[in-house]
Amino acid sequence: MATQGTTGANNVTTRPPPNPSPLRTAKFFQANMRILVTGGAGFIGSHLVDRLMQNEKNEVVVVDNYFTGSKDNLKQWFGHPRFELIRHDVTEPLLIEVDQIYHLACPASPIFYKHNPVKTIKTNVIGTLNMLGLAKRVGARILLTSTSEVYGDPLVHPQDESYWGNVNPIGVRSCYDEGKRVAETLMFDYHRQHGIEIRIARIFNTYGPRMNIDDGRVVSNFIAQAIRNEPLTVQAPGTQTRSFCYVSDMVDGLIRLMEGNNTGPINLGNPGEFTMLELAENVKELINPEVKIIHVENTPDDPRQRKPVISKAKEVLGWEPTITLHYTYVLSIGINKPGLIIRVRFMLWSVASSTNSFSFHWIYSGQLPVRQEHMQRL
Ligand SMILES: NC(=O)c1ccc[n+]([C@@H]2O[C@H](COP(=O)([O-])OP(=O)(O)OC[C@H]3O[C@@H](n4cnc5c(N)ncnc54)[C@H](O)[C@@H]3O)[C@@H](O)[C@H]2O)c1
């Protein structure tokens, strides 16, 4: 087991962590580390599982209720002796012997988390309590994927970890952002009171293959609209900014945080900043120059600016994004059922900034339902 972490807040001295289960040293264990990934069938979770499975010393257990995730994202690991998938809702207790917990379970897209806000806050609060209870019982280290949404509609720009945020506690997004804030509080309370080893990542917008095309996240949203010949809907005023981090960089940051000695919270994201209008114009130019860009009413409490300060991640984890969003794309399409479903992959030309080398990255791959009239466009 790794050593106790240093706290990222107030330099509080903590009690030593509980001992790991004696079962872990038993001879019949083939892998050195059993790792639980909650929400592992989702977008970021499934990429994390891929990376963890590449290490032969890891055994990976995924729990997921498939609310927004899919078994399809993990099918490459079915039947693997070091992999296990459990259908489970984290709002229910879980008894299992593990050494590390990556706690990702929570819908990340506004469409889904607003669909059932009570369930979203239960997932954030009860789900995190259950995972902390498990970490306490077996002496596991636990990492929470928190979010830049804890900064709300920020009054300081860019945002570093010392900023406490500007969050509406009673808005339609509160189930998510206040839920994550409570989850962070619970993590630190278990750390101070019970000596649990915690890690908190504050994730900024992330993109890559396996994003759900219709879940309302802006990158996949614009691409789907452009290919369907529908107007690109930019929420007013369009000058609001976001920063986009490629998923492989994000996974690298999460693993470094888990393996390092700092509790966080640590911002993980790409400081490159785009306005939503810029993003829409580039998608239009590249995929469908004839499509219109229209402004639609914004959703309440939508942050105007979002850009991480990542100096702490650089200093403490030696981490920074290597992949920068560029605007060249290659599209490959396979038709599954003629006229109904197409399999699409969008490739973005990206540059690995640390090595100055060019590389291609799929930004979306998955199924896209299309209507007959859209087929002409393809
Ligand atoms: N993708 C981003 O840009 C982003 C930004 C900030 C934070 N995050 C955080 O990262 C984590 C993963 O995000 P993602 O983009 O992969 O989202 P996702 O929706 O693709 O994945 C979430 C996974 O959690 C599962 N899940 C949801 N509720 C559950 C429950 N009650 N019990 C068990 N499983 C449950 C879903 O089925 C899904 O597989 C989330 O915690 C999210 O808040 C993501």
User: How many other CB atoms are found less than 10 A from the CB of residue 137?
Assistant: 14
Judged against a pLDDT cut of 90, whether residue 141 lies above it is answered with yes
Segment 19-26 mean pLDDT: 60
234-258: string of b/e by CB count within 10 Å (b at 16+)?
beeebebbbbbbbbbbbbbbbbbbb
Question: Which tokens belong to 353?
Answer: 């900034």
Q: DSSP letter at 75?
A: G
Which amino acid is residue 372, in one-letter code?
Q
**Which residue(s) pair with 340 in the sheet?**
none
Which residue, by CA, sits nearest to atom 35 of ligand 1?
105
Atom of ligand 1 nearest to the CA of 180: 43
SS3 266: strand
Please say if the pLDDT value at position 331 is more than 70: no
More confident residue, 346 or 85: 85
Mean pLDDT computed over 146-159:
91
Dihedral (CA of 95, 96, 101, 105) sign? negative
Note the pLDDT of residue 363. Answer: 60
- Residues 244, 203: contact at Cβ < 8 Å? no
Is residue 45 a contact partner of residue 208, using CB atoms and an 8 Å limit?
A: no
What residues act catalytically? 176
Residue 109: pLDDT band with limits 50, 70, 90:
confident
pLDDT at 340: 47
The pLDDT of 65-86, averaged and rounded, is: 94
Find the Cα–Cα–Cα–Cα dihedral 158, 162, 163, 164, rounded to 10°.
160
Higher pLDDT, 177 or 365: 177
- Using 50, 70 and 90 to split pLDDT, how confident is the model at 355? very low
pLDDT for residue 307 is more than 80: yes
Report the length, in residues, of the chain: 378
In this structure, CATH architecture of domain 22-207+244-268: 3-Layer(aba) Sandwich (3.40)
How far is it, in rounded angstroms, from Cα 332 to Cα 41?
24
Confidence of residue 278 (pLDDT cuts 50, 70, 90): confident
- Give the residue, out of 37, 44, 134, 149, with the most ligand 1 atoms within 8 A of its beta carbon, to mutate for a pocket test: 44
* Residue 357 clears pLDDT 80, i.e. is over it: no
Q: Which residues line ligand 1 (CB under 6 A)?
A: 38-39, 41-45, 64-69, 89-91, 104-108, 123, 127, 145, 147, 203, 205-206
**Cβ 246 vs Cβ 361: under 8 Å:** yes
CA 287 – CA 290 distance, rounded (Å): 9
Which atom of ligand 1 is closest in space to residue 45's alpha carbon?
16
- The rounded Å distance from CA 248 to ligand 1 centre is 16
Which atom, in ligand 1's list, is nearest to the CA of 245? 3
From 61, 67, 251, the mutation candidate for ligand 1 (largest count of ligand atoms within 8 A of CB) is: 67
Q: Which atom of ligand 1 is found nearest the CA of 41?
A: 39
Query: Is residue 26 pLDDT above 90, yes or no?
Result: no
Closest Cα to atom 17 of ligand 1: 108
Tokens of residue 131, six digits:
């995972």
Q: Kindly give the pairing relationship between strand 206-207 and strand 232-235.
A: unpaired
302 versus 193: the higher-pLDDT residue is 193
* pLDDT at position 212 over 80: no
The pLDDT, as a whole number, for residue 112 is 87
Structure token pair of residue 287: 């995929």
- What rounded mean pLDDT belongs to the chain? 82
Q: 39 versus 156: which is more confidently predicted?
A: 39
Among protein residues, the one with the nearest Cα to ligand 1's atom 30 is 89
Q: How far is CA 43 from CA 71, 97, 191, 200, in A?
A: 11, 25, 28, 19
Task: Give the closest residue (by CA) to ligand 1 atom 12.
Answer: 104
Atom index in ligand 1 nearest the CA of residue 176 equals: 43
Residue 96 is predicted with a pLDDT of 93
For residue 229, the tally of other CB atoms under 10 A from its CB is 17
Q: Write the DSSP assignment of 159-212 as a string of letters.
A: B-TT---B--TTSTTHHHHHHHHHHHHHHHHHHHHH---EEEEEE--EE-TT--
- For residue 297, CA distances in Å to 68, 236, 238 come to 25, 6, 10
Distance in Å, CA 108 to ligand 1 centroid: 5
- Count of other CB atoms within 10 angstroms of residue 84: 15
Choice between 365 and 130, residue whose per-residue pLDDT is larger: 130
User: In this predicted structure, what is the pLDDT of residue 241?
Assistant: 80
Token digits of residue 215 = 């879940």
How many Cα atoms sit within 13 Å of 222 on the Cβ side? 24
Higher per-residue pLDDT: 339 or 171: 171
Domain edges within the chain: 22-207+244-268
62 — pLDDT class (breaks 50, 70, 90)? very high
- Looking at the predicted structure, is the pLDDT value of residue 15 above 70? no
Q: Do residues 348 and 208 lie in contact, with contact meaning Cβ atoms separated by under 8 Å?
A: no
What is the reported pLDDT for 372?
Answer: 46
Using the predicted structure, report yes or no on whether residue 301 has a pLDDT greater than 80: no
- If phi > 0 it is left, if psi is from -120 to 50 it is alpha, else beta; for residue 165 that is left
272 Cα to the center of ligand 1, angstroms: 23
Stretch 110-115: mean pLDDT, rounded?
Answer: 86
- In this prediction the pTM is 0.84
Could you give the percent of the chain with pLDDT greater than 90? Answer: 51
